[in-house]
Structures are given as structure tokens and as C-alpha cells.
Amino acid sequence: MNKRSIAILASNILVCSALYAQTALKGKVLDQDGKPIPGVSVTIRGGAGTQTGIDGGFSLTYTGGGVLNVTAVGYKSKQIQLSNQTNLNVTLESSAENLDEVVVTALGITREKKSLGYAMQEVKAKELTDAGQYSLTGALAGKVAGVQVNQFGGAIGSSARISIRGNTSLQANQQPLIVVDGIPITNDSQRSGDNTYSGVDYGSGLNDINPDDIESINVLKGGAAALYGMRAGTGVIMITTKSGKRAENGVQISYDGNFSIDRAANLPKYQNLYGQGSRGDEYSFKKFGGNLSYQDYVTQNSFSYVDGTGNIGVNDNIDESWGPRMDIGLLIPQFNSPVVNGVRQATAWNSHKNNVREFFQTGFSQNHNISLLSKSDRSSTRASISYRNQTGTVPNTDQKKYTAQLNNEYKVSDKVSYDIMSNFTRTESNNLVTQGYDAANPMNGLIWFGRQVDMQDLKKNWDQKDAQGKYTYYNWNSAYHMNPFYTMHESLNAMKMNRVFGKTSLYYQPFDFLKFEGRVGLDYYNTHMFETTYFNFDNKNGKFDEIKNSNSDFNADFIANFNKQFGDLSLTGILGANYRDYQYETNTLGAKGLNVLGVYTISNKIGDAYTFMDHSKGRSNSVYGQANLGWKDQLYLDLTARNDWSSTLKKSFFYPSASLSWIPTASFEGLKSDYLNFWKMRFNLVKVGNATRPYQNGNYYYAQTDAYNNLAQMYKSMVYAIEGLEPEAITSYEIGTELGLFKDRLHLDVTYYQKVNKKQLLPVTTSNVVGFSSIFLNAGEIRSKGIEVQLRGDILKREDGLNWTTTVNFSKDRNKVVELYPELGLKDYRQGWTWGISNMASVGRPWGSLVGPGYDRVEDGPMKGAIKVGSNGLVSTPIDGQVIGNAVPDFLASMRNDFTFKDFRFGFMLDFRKGGDIWSQTMSHGYATGIAEITAADGIRERAILAGRDVMKNERFAMSDGKGGWVANTIETTAQDWYENGGIAEMYVFDGSFLKLREAYISYNLPKHLYSKIKGIKRANISVTGTNLALLWVHKSNTMRLDPEGGGVSSDSRGVGFEQASVPNSRSIGLKLGFTF
């Protein structure tokens, strides 16, 4: 080679080296306060990528120019043009408009929100804790479009039912999957009882999480949940806990205290004109009193107390309030009248209009939370402990909860790191309320309570005993009811629960674009419940039940993450596998009678003890993957796939999804203006599943409680399981759009979706001749469609610091049962029932139909539609099996307003529900017993009444014309006869619409000069909070003004549409204190 050739080659090498020289870039990512942000994704378009460390620092190499993309959860993304920089600090702005931020998606993966092809809504920490909510489920209510939260009564520790995009499953448990930091946890309610008429609610798993430990909650609907396969059918709630990533270097300690008083709110509307007894009204006196004075008539015919049994006194066993008038100075012997020479004296017959309210006490709650944050160059830690102590509004009820939480991240090297999350909760209660129609439920007695009864007297003497030390069972009625204070002290439901859940993840990143994660997680709890009854009318020899439950759910995942730019194309993807092992065990031991009352041991039992033991377990294996292809940050295609193998089912099941999102304002710059600055369109199609519990795909034998000739007995399940069962198959699609308007001041997100749920898992009744009572199989189809709207507006953003932000959520869901099991002619499937009313799924009707005895109406002719009455003027025998309502709301809406001005913050939320019918036990008994306000309204006890004129004025009534036809009713009756004419469930169904002031708060950051002399305090804050503040409006059909969120006995779908003597929800007013050291 000559010298010229060598020179040319050398010059080419130098030119190429210059062209392809690698530039090393180092820098930090900071927030607007100059604090480092760890975990930020830093990528070069078409090149390398990395994440910031604990100190916010990053380093990578690039060639020539390029565009640097910087994205982080909760911040606006940023793009920076590079030109051979070697050092670069990047400042990110907090993302208020949620258009350009990064959010947590399935499996805990962070994604830019603009790249998602499905609806996503996030609830941040402050929204959960601003108003001082102790219950996480309560804190979620009204904050996410398409999510309905029903709290089942106001008793301490009660469960809640959460539904996402309506109800499309016939399984009882339709609760969404709960995932904490990537690990699924159990949200089952802990209960005892039959879930139909009565039981004890010990709470649900979601409320074991301390709201102060939560960073954010993301609700995954439809395609967003696809990566969870056969567990995604009812949606997923993703919870991200707080960590130490964003702490300052060093150690920081915070204390938050919350103190509140709780009062029973929204008690039923009672009448206060007539007391205990029968036929004591003016009309009856005029008709039957003869020459007696009203005073003599009522004591001889309506009410006079002797011993409360009805054997000697006048109607003193009657527990209804159809007795004498209370505001005219009558003197009548009563349960608490003095006894002179063995004769009970007459005392003033007065209304105690607040007697039911006087049963409830002022509850008090306190919550203390201490957290410690620590950060160094390689690690970050957040640890917290909390203590909560609540006394309920129902006397002698309480709950204590202790939690401890730890989050730790550590960077072993540039390529290896790990993180740990662990949470421990202990819950203790000495007594919780029995629910439903049960002698141990005080609310059951209060819906019969005489309006003249002095509650303070009952409270003072509930533990009265005779000379032998035995209870006298002092009460206003000795035939049917116990003193409610006695009930709450001698019918006890105690519980203790320990729960631990957590995960450990190990990360290895061999290249900037490739990262591996190995993750193991466990959720375990054990619960001990001890229910005792000393004596009541249902259990005259006492009883006890001891119940022990335990549950474990182990998950292991291996995930490979890929993230790389190829010019204008970006590719992110994951490939992973999951192993799950879960088991549940329950053991019950009890006695239905005791030799010695109050001694709750098996050796003290009368007759045989009863036992129940159940142990179920299952396993599953899964593989899954996701690929997201982006082009020029404006067009994104997302594909996912998951295959599940389950021990509870004998096949494998494949769940794919596809979504597409396009940002026209990025494609066509001319679309942008002062009015429109962001526009995204999206579409997705997904198939997910809903699996069944173990042991449903085979036929098993179970152990009998009693032995026969010392030999264990076994019995065969009466449910025949068909081999080849599959999970429910839910296919859905959604289309949506997102708009950013007026320079990001207004943000609109609209979604339309359709779902088809096929292969429902349900038992179909068969003839016992075949040896089984039902067959468990895949059958049925439900279709639904709906719309969701999220609107957020920065109404005010002033330079003086006054800001006003409004968030509005709206959702509407409609469904229809298309088929059940036509092969056997099945057209109706009953999910829940009580008092002859069923929550029914019927072909051709919406899910949630309430079916039961309804009015017999004229079918044709001039009186068509009129309600038939008999010769006594009362409604005719009801027609059973009628659709008398539907429990599904027409739509849900909420509006949250937040104001800030310098160091002040103020906010409130309104929650609105339209529709959703409810059958009410309180209304049913309130009418029949004469305690409801409507039973004495407009003077109807002072005269004869006519249906349609004096009662039910919006209806027409028809009587027989004696010729086979019907004419307008003219037959009068009495108020007592009208309302005691029970058995017509339709009369007690009301429209569950409401408008509530759900929560409010006002917060103030104290100026530093107030605490500057106290060493160590860096921040101090004080807040006044309130929850469930006011029931502003209810539908006129809700005549007793009951809280429509009262709920039934069961917190799953079997309780939907029923109100069963529920404990009133509590109104809470609190004070919060916060300090940072």
C-alpha cells in the first residue's frame, strides 16, 4: 500500500470516529422545589435509556445529537434537544392536567398516559386523606367515573361493595381484584351468618390498608386489566404505596393525627303523635268508644301496662304504635311507672320523640400515624406505624387497628437493585353489631319501638337484677324484644385479626434497554371470631360460636422489560410468568344451648356441639406479554396476551387484548390553538375471565358433623359439577377521546364501552331424582354498555395564589340478561333474597331486578292500571313474582371542588345517584308498626281514609262492580288497617336516588414564626374535616328519608337492592394535625 492510500484510509477512520464518537451525559432530574426525583425514565429517542437513582442522578451515552425524553409518574413529560452536552439538569413540573404524565398500569408498570389506548383514572394521596376518611373504601366513593362504592351500614368496621362498570356476573362476589405494589391481595369480607336474613360483618380486606401509606390508586377497567387474565373480569384496583424515593437526603420524621366525633346521621322519620297499643286513634274511639271518655277508652281498650306479656295488661305485649294520642295529657300505666301496693300507677303519656336517637352515643375516633423517611446515595426507606381507636355510635362497639409498613429500595450496583414492601395489620374488636332480622341486632328492635318509650330509663336500668343476682330483663316489652342496651352488652361479637402482606423484588439491568425483575409476594391473614349470646328470645338457653379463618395467597413473577427507540419508532414490551398458590381454611365450633348462662365453653353445652371445617386450595400458572409500538409520540399500538392454567379448571385459557391511540394534535400542528392544545382518540378490544373457586369441577364428599356408631359419616355434595368448566368469558371494547382545552385549563375524557359476559358460572336446579339438587355449569350471557365522563377544570389560577379546581365524574351503565340456560328452560336465576323478595336475573330484563309480591292491577277497561281493593277497602291479595323494581342506578355523578389560597386549602365533594330501587325492611316494619311519619300524616288517624285520596295519592284504586268489572274505589278503611295490611313488598320499595355532601375539609399551613422556637419542626399543618356531612335530597318515594346507602346483610351481590334494619351511617367531624421534623 502506498503512502497516499494510507493517508486516505487514516483520514476516513478519523472522520468516522468523529461522526460516531460517543458522548457521555450525566445529570440530575429535579422537581420544582429543587428536590431530586428518583425512578425517572430517561431515554434518548432511537438510542439508550436509563432511570434516575435515589439522588435523581442519571448517566448514559449517545452519539451526536438526539432528543432526550424524561418521564415520571405524576409529572409532565419533557423532551430536550441534545447537542453534545455532557452535563444536564432537568426540572419537571407537577402534572395537574393528567395528559402528559406517567401512570401506574397493570403489574405495576409505569407508562406515559398519552400512550394508553384505554381509560385510566388516578386518585392521589391527598384526595384520599384530605377529609380524614378512616375507611379506604369510603375514601374512594365518588372519586372515579364508573366505580360505585356501597358501604353496608354505619357500624364500625363494616364492609363495602365496589363495582366497576356495573354488574355483568351472576357470581355472588363481583369485587375487583386489589393489587398493592404489583402484588394481588384478598378483599373478601369476613362474615358469619346466612348472608340472607342476618349475620355479623367483620370487614373487608381493603380496609386493612392505612390510607396514610398510599401514594395513589389507579382503577383499571376493560382493556387496562387485560394482563391479569382470568382474574380481571371485574376490574382491578392498583394501589401504589408511599416510598422514600422523593425524600431529601438524610432522615425526615412526620406525625399525622386525626381526631373525630361521630354521630348517627339520617335516622328515619318517625311520627310523634301516637304511642304503643292498638286502636287508640280518634277514629276508633268515635266508632267504638260509646259513652266512655277518651281517657277511659284507651286504658280499657288500647293500652295499659302490667307486665309486658299481654296476659294481664291491655295490649302491653303489642310492640306497635297504634295506641293512644300522646299530646293531650293522658295518664296511662307504663313499663316504667311506679308500682304502689302491687298496682302500676298511671303516669303522663308523652312522646319521647328523640328516643331512637338517644340509643346512639357519640362515637370517637383517633388515628395516629408516624412515618420515617431516610435516603442516601444508594438507598431510600420509608417506615410507618399507625394506631387507630374507634368507639362506635352503637353502644359498646369498638375497634382498634395497628399497622406497620416498610418500603425499602437499595441499589447494589449500577446493574443490580432490590426493593422490599411489607405491611402488618392487627385488628381487634370487643364487640361489633349483628345485622339484619336477628334478636341480637338492636336496630331490629328499634323499628318496632314504642314512640312513648323513655330510652334514658332503659339505658339506666338495662343491667337490673333481682335478689338472686339474675337479670330482670328490664324492658318496655317482655313478649318479643330485649332492652337494646342489654343486647349490646350480652350479645357480643368479638374478633381479632392478624394480617401481613408484602413483596420482594430483585432487579438486574444488563443493558440500558433491558431489565429483568424477579418478584415474590405473600398475603396472609388469620381471624378469630367469638360470638356469644347470654339470653334472648331466639336463644333462651344462650349460645356461642367460635370461628377461625385463615387465608394465604402466594405469587411469584419473573418479568423481562424492554424499552428502546428506533428512530421515530419506540418499542416497549414485557414478557413474564406468574406462579400462584392460594388456600383458605375455616373452622367453627359452637353450642346452641348452655347449662349455665354466660359460661361459653364446650363442656357447658346442652346437647351436641356443632362443628364445621373447610379447607380449600388451588394453584395457577401463567405466562403473559405486552408490546407497545409508538411512532413519533403520536400513534401507539398496544398488544397484550396472557395464558392461564388453573388447578380449579382443567383447560388452559388465553386472554388477548389490542388497543390503539392516536394524538391528532401531534400529527397536525395546525389543530392546536388557544382553545385546543391536546386531542387523543383511543380504541381497545379485550377478552378477560372470571374464575371460580376451588372444587367446582368435580364431585366431592364432605365430613358430617355427627358420628354414627363412632364412625365418621360423609355426605355427597348435592351440586353436580360438570367436567370442562371454564372461567366466565368477558369480551369488551371501548372507544374514547381526551381533550385538553384553553391552555390546559380544562380537560375532558369521554369513554363509551360495551361488554359481553358469556359462560356464566351458576348452579342450575334439577330434579333430586338424579341424585343432585343442581348442576354447576357454564351458562348464561349478560350484555352491557355504558358511558363515562371525566371533566377537570382549573376554574381560577390567579397570580395572588387563589386557585379553584373542579373535578366532575359521570357514568351510566345499562345491562340485559340475554340468556341463562335454554337447554333446561332456565329463564330466571335468583341471586339474593329476603322476606319473599328476590334479586333476580331474568332473561330479557336487566340484572338486578327486584321480584316479589306486587299490586294486583286491573288489566283492561277504563280502570286499567288501577290497584284492586277488596270489599274492606284494602289492597287485594298481592300477585307474587312481579318485577317491583331494579337495584341498578340510572347514573352516578360527583363533583369535587378544591380551593387554595397561599397557606389555606379548602375543598368539598358532592355525590349524586339517580335511581337504584331498594326494598326496605325498616320501611316495611315502620309502616306496619305505625312508627313511620307517614302513618300519622295529615290527620289520617282521626278519620276514615280512602285509598287514592288520603294515602298513595298518586295511584288509582278500583273495587269490583259486582258484574266482573271494576269501578273507582269508594270503600273507606282505617290507617291502622291500611298499613298493617302487609305482604305487599311493592309498597316498601323506594327509589334510591340521593344527593350527598360526601366530604369537606379546610386546611392551613401554620406560619413558621408560630413554631420556630420549637427545635426540629419543619412543617406544621392543621385541618378541620368532615365526612358524610349531609343527605341533601332523596326521592319522594323514600318516605322515611332513609339513607339509600344503608345496605343489606350481605356485602356481595346477594345484598344489592335490600335494606335490612341497617345501622345508620355516621356523620364525622374531625381535627387533623400534621408535623414534619
Query: Residue 527 belongs to a domain with what CATH number?
Result: 2.40.170.20
In Å, how far are 20, 486, 519, 1072 from 462, measured between CA atoms? Answer: 90, 5, 56, 37
* Number of neighbouring beta carbons within 10 Å of residue 425: 21
Kindly state whether residue 167 falls inside one of the protein's structural domains: no
767 in the same domain as 704: yes
Side-chain-side CA neighbours of 355 within 13 Å: the count stands at: 29
Kindly state whether residue 290 falls inside one of the protein's structural domains: no
Domain that holds residue 20: 3-94
Kindly state whether residue 858 falls inside one of the protein's structural domains: no
631 in the same domain as 691: yes
Return all residues near 503 (Cβ < 8 A) that are at least 6 apart.
181, 182, 183, 420, 421, 519, 520, 521, 522
670 in the same domain as 643: yes
388 in the same domain as 316: no
CB 192 within 8 A of CB 198: no
Counting as low any pLDDT under 50, the low residues of the chain are: 1, 6-20, 96-97
Kindly state whether residue 147 falls inside one of the protein's structural domains: no
Calpha distance 668→987 (Å, rounded): 60
350 in the same domain as 250: no
At 678, which amino acid appears?
Answer: F
Q: Locate all alpha helices (DSSP H) within 731-873, ordered by sequence.
A: none
Kindly state whether residue 164 falls inside one of the protein's structural domains: no
Kindly state whether residue 972 falls inside one of the protein's structural domains: no
Calpha distance 790→99 (Å, rounded): 12
- At which of 321, 337, 359 does a domain end? 359
Buried b / exposed e across 148-179, counting CB within 10 Å, b at 16+?
A: bbbbbbbbbbbbbbbbbbbbbbbbebbbbbbb
Note the pLDDT of residue 64: 66
666 in the same domain as 572: yes
Element holding 628 (H helix, E strand) = strand 610-631
Element holding 808 (H helix, E strand) = strand 802-819
- At which of 94, 114, 142 does a domain end? 94
**Sign of the torsion formed by the C-alpha atoms of 1030, 1032, 1034 and 1038:** positive
* pTM for this model (two decimals): 0.88
Q: Is 144 exposed, middle or buried (0-12, 13-18, 19+ CB in 10 A)?
A: buried
Q: Which three cell numbers stand for residue 700?
A: 366431592
Note the pLDDT of residue 1073: 95
722 in the same domain as 600: yes
601 in the same domain as 531: yes
**What is the helix, strand, coil percentage profile of the chain, to 5?**
15, 50, 35
Domain count, the chain: 3
339 in the same domain as 237: no
Note the pLDDT of residue 21: 55
Calpha distance 239→237 (Å, rounded): 6
Kindly state whether residue 115 falls inside one of the protein's structural domains: no
- At which of 42, 77, 94 does a domain end? 94
Q: Is 715 exposed, middle or buried (0-12, 13-18, 19+ CB in 10 A)?
A: exposed
Give backbone dihedrals phi and psi of 452, rounded to 5 degrees, phi first: -95, 0
777 in the same domain as 799: yes
Give backbone dihedrals phi and psi of 651, rounded to 5 degrees, phi first: -120, 170
Note the pLDDT of residue 10: 45
Candidates 208, 209, 212; CA nearest to 1073 is 212
Note the pLDDT of residue 699: 67
Element holding 24 (H helix, E strand) = strand 22-30
Kindly state whether residue 238 falls inside one of the protein's structural domains: yes
349 in the same domain as 376: no
723 in the same domain as 801: yes
Candidates 889, 726, 919; CA nearest to 815 is 889
